[in-house]
């Protein structure tokens, strides 16, 4: 038997009040946690769901898994598909953004005469996955620069840089929705529209496919999978969505599924297992279940994903987006008024999201982050050569915390 579900959160407090939302997290009080871009603290409904599944697994792992596992896993897939506005057959469940990016890019069928295109601004995970895909297939990797200065970027400039970099042999464009180096949010819809024009003159096997590390937009921005125009959208659920740690999703378009082959045997689709058992070829084509890496999981986390999406829906997607943008905007304004602080994230909310990145004149970023920690402000240094300081306001923060963080930056100089 399934244990009773946790109480719907709407009954425990008015979610229109952000301080009530914050009270659902067991975060250390007194500290300003501007860390949603790294690793989530679990809100009460996610903690309750994990505890419920863990208790049942600890009592009888085999019975609970056999009796409820397939249904609970499909419920998580369906919740992710609903969030993304896509069909559940296009959704693979992963354990992180990194797993999704690595899996998808190394699963892509590439010819040695093809190339994959990415940018200097993309993250380690994209760059290394593409290198690994190239080593397997003989395809080339090329990088282009998206802009000269992040704080002076425009959507047109980004689209122009991309379209002028695409060559006849480009098979994949691999980008990041919101850059964790600078906080720049790229205009995904415009990029996808430009790719559609380019693809109109190409055969299907030579279409430029669009891959997106979406982790810093996922759980903040309001676009559906289709709105982004991506063929591959990979995101961890353990950052801005405040989902269970060790969970992620990859959404894949029909033509993306046709262009990839699963890498890790799936446990989510009985057809592949039956085919192996019967010693025949699997029927049907590739799909999100087949792309989901198999093996036994930290199931209590995977199954609590449903509750994380439910919590997000109860908060309201556009409310979360506007709250995050409002706080990030206020932080950028406050930081811009401080001497020696050079805010690199665009002010324009169309070109930014929740990440606020800045440089400090005459001080290393590591030193600033350490001084902020002494003042109980959790910031981080971007793991990129430019190594900017990042503060990332989210739904767990208040306006008072924005002021406190900005004051702490000033006092740390």
Ligand X SMILES: Cc1ncc(COP(=O)(O)O)c(C=O)c1O
Q: How many binding residues for ligand X (CB under 6 A)?
A: 11
180 forms part of the interface with ligand X (CB under 6 A) = yes
345 forms part of the interface with ligand X (CB under 6 A) = no
Minimum Å gap between C-beta 147 and ligand X is: 17
129 forms part of the interface with ligand X (CB under 6 A) = no
Q: Which stretch binds ligand X (CB under 6 A): 54-62, 93-101, 284-292, 366-374?
A: 93-101
Q: Which residues of 184-217 are buried (b: 16+ CB within 10 A; e: fewer)?
A: bbbbbeebbebbeebbeeeeeeebbbbbbbbbbb
45 forms part of the interface with ligand X (CB under 6 A) = no
Minimum Å gap between C-beta 391 and ligand X is: 15
Q: Which stretch binds ligand X (CB under 6 A): 50-58, 61-69, 92-100, 218-226?
A: 92-100
236 forms part of the interface with ligand X (CB under 6 A) = yes
211 forms part of the interface with ligand X (CB under 6 A) = no
97 forms part of the interface with ligand X (CB under 6 A) = yes
286 forms part of the interface with ligand X (CB under 6 A) = no
Instruction: Pick the closer one to ligand X by CB: 117 or 178.
Output: 178
Closest residue (Cβ) to ligand X?
A: 236
Phi/psi at 155 (5° precision): -60, -40
Instruction: Pick the closer one to ligand X by CB: 127 or 373.
Output: 127
Instruction: Pick the closer one to ligand X by CB: 211 or 236.
Output: 236
41 forms part of the interface with ligand X (CB under 6 A) = no
- 140 pairs with which residues across the strands? 115
Q: For ligand X, which residue of 106, 107, 114, 176 counts as binding (CB under 6 A)?
A: 176
Nearest to 356 by CA among 319, 395, 320, 388: 388
Minimum Å gap between C-beta 176 and ligand X is: 5
Minimum Å gap between C-beta 262 and ligand X is: 20
Instruction: Pick the closer one to ligand X by CB: 86 or 98.
Output: 98
Q: Quick check: 345 and 150 in contact, CB under 8 A?
A: yes
Long-range contacts (CB closer than 8 Å, 24 or more residues apart) made by 65-74: 65/299, 68/2, 69/299, 72/299, 72/302, 72/303, 72/306, 73/268, 73/299, 73/302, 73/303
Minimum Å gap between C-beta 273 and ligand X is: 28
Minimum Å gap between C-beta 94 and ligand X is: 8
Instruction: Pick the closer one to ligand X by CB: 94 or 253.
Output: 94
Q: For ligand X, which residue of 6, 36, 46, 125 counts as binding (CB under 6 A)?
A: 125
Instruction: Pick the closer one to ligand X by CB: 174 or 272.
Output: 174
Whole-angstrom CA distances from 387 to 120, 182, 313, 383 are 14, 9, 34, 6
Minimum Å gap between C-beta 45 and ligand X is: 21
247 forms part of the interface with ligand X (CB under 6 A) = no
Token output for 171: 């098979």
188 forms part of the interface with ligand X (CB under 6 A) = no
Nearest to 148 by CA among 160, 138, 131, 137: 160
Sign for the pseudo-dihedral over CA of 321, 324, 328, 334: positive
Minimum Å gap between C-beta 356 and ligand X is: 14
Start-to-end CA distance of the chain, whole Å, equals 59
Nearest to 47 by CA among 71, 31, 27, 77: 27
Q: For ligand X, which residue of 73, 98, 324, 394 counts as binding (CB under 6 A)?
A: 98
248 forms part of the interface with ligand X (CB under 6 A) = yes
Q: Which stretch binds ligand X (CB under 6 A): 14-22, 96-104, 262-270, 365-373?
A: 96-104
Distance CA 43, CA 24 (A): 5
Q: Quick check: 189 and 223 in contact, CB under 8 A?
A: yes
243 forms part of the interface with ligand X (CB under 6 A) = no
* Residues 303/306/312/313 CA torsion (nearest 10 deg): 180
Q: Binders of ligand X among 104-123, rule CB under 6 A?
A: 123
96 forms part of the interface with ligand X (CB under 6 A) = yes
Instruction: Pick the closer one to ligand X by CB: 64 or 105.
Output: 105
Distance CA 100, CA 412 (A): 38
Minimum Å gap between C-beta 96 and ligand X is: 3
Phi/psi at 346 (5° precision): -55, 145
The footprint of ligand X (CB under 6 A) covers: 96-98, 123, 125, 176, 180, 213, 215, 236, 248
């Amino acid at each position: 038997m399934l244990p009773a579900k946790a109480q719907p959160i709407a009954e425990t407090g008015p979610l229109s009040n952000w301080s009530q939302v914050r009270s659902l997290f067991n975060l250390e009080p007194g500290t300003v946690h501007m860390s949603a871009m790294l690793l989530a603290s679990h809100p009460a409904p996610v903690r309750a769901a994990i505890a419920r599944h863990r208790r049942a697994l600890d009592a009888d792992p085999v019975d609970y898994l056999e009796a409820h596992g397939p249904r609970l896993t499909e419920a998580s897939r369906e919740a992710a598909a609903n969030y993304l506005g896509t069909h559940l057959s296009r959704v693979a469940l992963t354990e992180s953004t990194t797993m999704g990016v690595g899996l998808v890019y190394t699963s892509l069928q590439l010819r040695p005469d093809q190339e994959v295109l990415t940018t200097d601004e993309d993250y380690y995970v994209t760059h290394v996955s593409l290198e690994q895909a190239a080593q397997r297939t003989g395809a080339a990797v090329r990088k282009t620069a998206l802009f000269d200065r992040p704080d002076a970027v425009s959507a047109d400039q980004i689209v122009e840089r991309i379209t002028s970099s695409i060559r006849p042999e480009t098979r994949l464009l691999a980008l990041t929705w919101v850059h964790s180096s600078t906080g720049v949010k790229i205009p995904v819809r415009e990029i996808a529209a430009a790719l559609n024009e380019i693809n109109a003159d190409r055969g299907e096997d030579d279409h430029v496919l669009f891959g997106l590390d979406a982790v810093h937009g996922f759980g903040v921005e309001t676009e559906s999978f289709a709105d982004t125009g991506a063929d591959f959208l990979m995101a961890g659920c353990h950052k801005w969505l405040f989902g269970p740690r060790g969970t992620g999703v990859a959404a894949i378009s029909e033509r993306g599924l046709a262009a990839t082959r699963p890498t890790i045997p799936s446990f989510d689709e009985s057809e592949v297992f039956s085919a192996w058992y019967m010693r025949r070829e699997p029927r049907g084509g590739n799909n999100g279940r087949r792309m989901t890496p198999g093996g036994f999981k930290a199931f209590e986390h995977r199954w609590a994903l449903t509750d994380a999406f439910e919590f997000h829906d109860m908060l309201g997607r556009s409310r979360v987006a506007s709250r995050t943008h409002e706080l990030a905007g206020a932080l950028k304004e406050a930081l811009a008024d401080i001497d020696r602080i050079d805010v690199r994230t665009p002010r324009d909310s169309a070109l930014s999201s929740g990440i606020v990145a800045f440089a400090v004149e005459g001080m290393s970023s590591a030193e600033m982050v350490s001084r902020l920690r002494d003042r109980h402000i959790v910031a981080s240094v971007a793991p990129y050569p430019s190594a900017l300081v990042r503060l990332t306001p989210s739904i767990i923060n208040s306006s008072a915390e924005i002021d406190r963080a900005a004051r702490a930056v000033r006092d740390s100089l």
